[in-house]
């Protein structure tokens, strides 16, 4: 007799396009940092839906806000305004220390698509014709965002693209300086590269990028879709270097699990779009906005930035302290880390972690990503650290 997981997996395999492969766990429900699969097995969720479930699963504040809002008003389209979107835009501007203007979308790739259209329009107005992005960077899967994505394996087969993008090695300020001339409209960068394996740049890189863009009159677009909303122990990762971008994109953790994206333009960049230049039917829908407000309120009320910083340090220190031939070290900051391996065994580690009751993600062949909810407890971190050496040992066997 097959398990429920096996039965669902077979049906998934038959019904879906093959872009994902069949995921290894069928999750039925969650509470805090814990999820249960359809066969009743329990896991500690140390990936959080790819850094999305900031408050964990089933957080009362999120449930209450979403339930109340969906009962009152689920949708208006952009033909009508509503209070939750205004509150959210004001709140984000307040956290960033405006002056800024916001566009709300449904996802990360859409937030970047908005940023790209904005940058194209800015470029045309200033006689600038090309874009710069980083090798191994990830900005999404729509054609515009994909054109900016520095991973040939997912990009090249869908080209050519309608924009000229030049790629530079991430973290190399000299290469960036050489690539950004007066004809460059915008530079798209992640403050730490997420999909590349949680790769932080050398200190000073973002500040250098800011200077280079300002000198060339290019927009600096910070893709903080994965890095923001407390993930690194700050609201926004770019704040660590005191650098203000011209455009900021958000998604993932902002909605705590509800789909929402934001493209925020500072100063002149906030006024590039004119009437009719961009839009979305679902973007900024009241339910997702209410969810995002609950996420932001809860992070503030419960001191989750400090908590993410201290739990992240415990987790990183604990991993660093493990001595195992398969473990090279740990990268990242806050609750956004990669355990870096000495060989390409991340998929094995993901599987042995799952066997041991932990969900983690083989983000690169040699890097295991950890992005637990910001509410992860001390005891949960300890439980992962206690299990980690045996997980590595099993993966190395
Ligand atoms: C996830 C991600 C995206 C794409 O977001 P989607 O919501 O999957 O469209 C873009 N940029 C970065 C840095 C991301 O991590």
Q: Report how far ligand 1's centroid is from the alpha carbon of 139 (Å).
A: 6
- As given in the structure block, the two tokens for residue 83 are 């209070």
Ligand 1, atom 7, residue with closest C-alpha: 108
Dihedral in degrees, nearest 10, Cα atoms 240, 33, 88, 290? 180
Number of domains in the chain: 2
Q: What is the pLDDT of residue 1?
A: 67
Same domain, 381 and 232: no
Q: Report how far ligand 1's centroid is from the alpha carbon of 110 (Å).
A: 9
Same domain, 262 and 335: no
45 lines ligand 1 (CB under 6 A): no
Same domain, 149 and 87: yes
Within a domain: 251? yes
Q: What is the pLDDT of residue 180?
A: 98
What are the start-end ranges of the H helices in 16-165?
A: 48-51, 60-72, 83-96, 108-125, 143-147, 152-155
Same domain, 284 and 372: no
Q: Report how far ligand 1's centroid is from the alpha carbon of 319 (Å).
A: 26
Same domain, 228 and 264: yes
361 lines ligand 1 (CB under 6 A): no
Q: Write the CB contacts of 63 (distance below 8 Å, at least 6 apart in sequence).
A: none
Domain boundary at 281, 301, 321, which? 301
Banded pLDDT at 178 (limits 50, 70, 90): very high
Same domain, 143 and 124: yes
Per-residue buried b or exposed e for 315-339, using 16+ beta carbons within 10 Å of the residue's own CB: bbebbeebebebbeebbbbbbbbbb
pLDDT digits (tens, 9 = 90+) for 218-257: 999 999 999 999 999 999 999 999 999 999 999 999 999 9
Within a domain: 378? yes
Within a domain: 243? yes
Report the atom number in ligand 1 closest to the C-alpha of 252.
7
Within a domain: 198? yes
Ligand 1, atom 6, residue with closest C-alpha: 108
**CA-CA distance, 373 to 335, in Å (whole number)?**
8
Report the atom number in ligand 1 closest to the C-alpha of 226.
15
Is pLDDT of 291 > 90? yes
Query: % helix / strand / coil in the chain, to the nearest 5?
Result: 40, 20, 40
Same domain, 200 and 54: no
Same domain, 146 and 235: yes
Read off the CATH number of the domain in which 78 is found.
3.40.640.10
223 lines ligand 1 (CB under 6 A): yes
Q: Which residues are catalytic?
A: 138, 223, 252
pLDDT digits (tens, 9 = 90+) for 250-285: 999 999 999 999 999 999 999 999 999 999 999 999
Domain extent at residue 165: 73-301
Within a domain: 151? yes
For the beta sheet containing 361-364, the strands, ordered from the edge strand earlier in sequence to the opposite edge, are 327-333, 336-341, 367-370, 361-364
Domain boundary at 285, 301, 317, which? 301
Q: Are 277 and 103 in contact (CB under 8 A)?
A: no
The alpha carbon dihedral of 235, 237, 195, 395 has a sign of negative
Within a domain: 65? no
Same domain, 114 and 256: yes
Q: Write the CB contacts of 87 (distance below 8 Å, at least 6 apart in sequence).
A: 289, 293
Same domain, 224 and 244: yes
Q: What is the pLDDT of residue 98?
A: 76
Burial class (CB in 10 A: 0-12, 13-18, 19+), 69: buried
Report the atom number in ligand 1 closest to the C-alpha of 195.
15
Within a domain: 8? yes
Within a domain: 388? yes
Computed on alpha carbons and rounded to an integer, the radius of gyration of the chain in Å comes to: 21
Report the atom number in ligand 1 closest to the C-alpha of 142.
9
Same domain, 52 and 97: no
Taking CA atoms, 179 is separated from 172, 186, 221, in Å, by 11, 11, 15
Dihedral in degrees, nearest 10, Cα atoms 312, 313, 316, 322? -130
The pTM of this model reads: 0.98
Burial class (CB in 10 A: 0-12, 13-18, 19+), 21: exposed
Domain boundary at 301, 320, 341, which? 301
Q: Report how far ligand 1's centroid is from the alpha carbon of 189 (Å).
A: 12
Nearest CA to 357 out of 318, 390, 321 is that of 390
pLDDT digits (tens, 9 = 90+) for 123-171: 999 999 999 999 999 999 999 999 999 999 999 999 999 999 999 999 9
Whose tokens are 């957080």? That residue is 59
Q: What is the pLDDT of residue 193?
A: 98
């Amino acid at each position: 007799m097959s398990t429920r997981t096996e039965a669902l997996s077979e049906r998934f395999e038959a019904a879906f396009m093959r872009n994902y492969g069949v995921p290894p766990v069928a999750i039925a429900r969650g509470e805090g940092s814990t999820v249960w699969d359809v066969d009743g097995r329990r896991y500690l969720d140390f990936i959080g839906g790819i850094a999305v479930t900031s408050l964990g699963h089933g957080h009362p504040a999120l449930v209450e806000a979403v339930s109340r809002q969906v009962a009152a008003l689920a949708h208006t389209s952009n033909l009508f305004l509503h209070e939750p979107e205004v509150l959210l835009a004001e709140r984000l501007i307040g956290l960033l220390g405006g002056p800024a203007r916001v566009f709300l979308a449904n996802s990360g790739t859409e937030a970047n698509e908005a940023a790209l259209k904005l940058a194209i329009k800015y470029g045309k107005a200033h006689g600038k014709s090309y874009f710069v992005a980083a090798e191994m960077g990830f900005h999404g899967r729509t054609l515009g965002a994909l054109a900016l994505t520095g991973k040939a394996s997912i990009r090249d087969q869908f080209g050519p693209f309608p924009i000229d993008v030049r790629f530079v090695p991430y973290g190399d300020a000299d290469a960036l300086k050489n690539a950004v001339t007066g004809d460059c409209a915008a530079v798209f960068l992640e403050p730490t590269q997420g999909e590349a394996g949680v790769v932080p740049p050398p200190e000073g890189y973002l500040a250098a990028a800011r200077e280079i863009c300002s000198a060339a009159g290019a927009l600096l677009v910070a893709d903080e879709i994965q890095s923001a909303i407390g993930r690194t122990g700050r609201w926004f990762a770019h704040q660590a270097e005191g650098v203000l971008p011209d455009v900021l994109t958000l998604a993932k953790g902002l909605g705590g699990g509800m789909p929402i994206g934001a493209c925020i333009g500072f100063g002149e960049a906030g006024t590039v779009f004119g009437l009719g230049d961009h839009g979305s039917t679902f973007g900024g829908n009241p339910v997702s906005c209410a969810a995002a407000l609950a996420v932001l309120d809860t992070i503030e009320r419960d001191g989750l930035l400090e908590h993410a910083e201290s739990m992240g340090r415990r987790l990183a220190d604990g991993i660093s302290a493990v001595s195992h031939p398969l473990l090279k070290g740990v990268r990242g900051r806050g609750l956004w880390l990669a355990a870096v391996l000495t060989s390409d065994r991340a998929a094995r580690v993901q599987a042995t972690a799952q066997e041991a009751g932990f969900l983690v993600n083989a983000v690169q062949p040699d890097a295991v990503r950890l992005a637990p909810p910001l509410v992860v407890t001390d005891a949960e971190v300890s439980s992962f650290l206690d299990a980690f050496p045996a997980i590595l040992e099993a993966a190395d066997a």
